Amino acid sequence: MSHNRIHNFNAGPAALPTSVLEEVQESLLNFKGSGMSVTEISHRSKQFDDIINDAVERTKRLLKLDDRFKVLFIQGGASMQFCMIPMNFLGGNKSADYVDTGTWSTKAIKEVEIQGKKINVVASSKDKNYSYIPKGISFNKDAAYVHLTSNNTIKGTQWASFPDTNNVPIVSDMSSDIMSRPLDMDKFGFIYAGAQKNIGPSGLCMVIIREDMLSMVPDDLPSMLKYSTYSSKNSMYNTPPCFGVYMVQLVMKWLEETIGGLEKMDAINRKKGETLYGFMDSSDFYNATAEPDSRSLMNVTFRLPSEDLEKKFIDEAQKNGLGGLKGHRSVGGCRASIYNATGQDAVDALVDFMKEFEKKNG
Residue 104 falls inside a structural domain = yes
Q: 247 and 280, same structural domain?
A: no
CA atoms within 13 A on the CB side of 15: 24
Q: 289 and 223, same structural domain?
A: no
Low-confidence spans in the chain with pLDDT less than 50: 1
Residue 345 falls inside a structural domain = yes
Q: 172 and 128, same structural domain?
A: yes
Domain with residue 138: its CATH number is: 3.40.640.10
Active site residues: 104, 173, 197
Q: 267 and 227, same structural domain?
A: no
Q: 203 and 86, same structural domain?
A: yes
Q: 329 and 185, same structural domain?
A: no
- Stated pTM of the model: 0.97
- Which of 259, 287, 319 is the C-terminal boundary of a domain? 259
Q: 213 and 289, same structural domain?
A: no
Q: 278 and 211, same structural domain?
A: no
Q: Give the pLDDT of residue 2.
A: 53
Residue 12 falls inside a structural domain = no
Q: 181 and 86, same structural domain?
A: yes
* Domains: count for the chain: 2
Q: Give the pLDDT of residue 1.
A: 42
Q: 243 and 174, same structural domain?
A: yes
Q: 289 and 144, same structural domain?
A: no
- Which of 228, 259, 290 is the C-terminal boundary of a domain? 259
- Which of 230, 259, 288 is the C-terminal boundary of a domain? 259
Domain with residue 318: its CATH number is: 3.90.1150.10
Q: 239 and 201, same structural domain?
A: yes
Residue 309: which domain range? Answer: 262-361
